[in-house]
Amino acid sequence: MKVKPPLDTLIITLRQKKVILDADLAVLYGVPTKRLNEAVKRNSSRFPKEFLFRLTTGEKEKVVANCDHLARLKFSTHLPSAFTEHGALMAANVLNSQEAVKMSVYVVRAFIKQREIILAQADVLKRLAQMDTTLLKHDEALRMIWSELQPLLNPPPPPPKRQIGFNRS
């Protein structure tokens, strides 16, 4: 049996969706990837396109290049499948093994944790945007104050003194 890596490292973003690849899901559920894909194929009506999709060659190359734990897929001729949160849960149901059912709870929790992290980041970005707007207003006020202070800091030069005496010009 393979060692199970932390779930948050297995969930990746593809096509603007959080997914887990079939090879990683198979390790988590304690079955060979081939068996997982066979069960999915037998129950294809349970896996609409929002639950499961097949990677393109370009996506596969990108994933293999960016994810160290997926280096084993580099020379595979098979294009991996990507399971969304609901697809991973459905895969546990079609596998019908105790380990798959137990692990599906952890997989769903990992997806939920990822979603919470994204929401927290969105809140932080919103707050930063508000702070930026406030700082821009302060920046304008400071520029105005500075322009008003400039004449006081640099008084005009004194007028030239009138010369006494005879001037031959």
Instruction: Answer yes or no: is pLDDT of 161 > 70.
Output: yes
Torsion of CA 61, 64, 70, 71, to 10 degrees: 100
Per-residue pLDDT reduced to its tens digit, 59-82:
888 888 877 777 777 777 788 999
Please give the DSSP secondary-structure letter assigned to residue 11: -
Q: Where are the domains of the chain?
A: 7-119
For residues 52 and 21, the answer to whether their CB atoms sit within 8 Å is: no
- Give me the amino acid identity at 49: K
Paired residues of 13 in beta bridges? 18
At 12-52, the pLDDT tens digits run 888 888 888 998 888 888 889 899 999 999 988 888 888 99
Task: Please state whether the predicted TM-score (pTM) of the whole model is above 0.75.
Answer: no
The mean pLDDT of 101-108, rounded to a whole number, is 74
Q: Residue 105 is which amino acid?
A: V
Residue 96 pLDDT > 80: no
- Reference 7, options 129, 150, 103, 140; nearest CA is 103
81-83, strands of its sheet edge to edge: 12-14, 17-21, 81-83, 52-54
Give residue-wise pLDDT tens across range 110-123: 777 877 887 788 78
Location of structure tokens 């001729």: 77
Q: Per residue in 117-143, pLDDT tens?
A: 877 887 888 888 888 888 888 888 888
Q: Which run of H or E residues covers position 13? A: strand 12-14
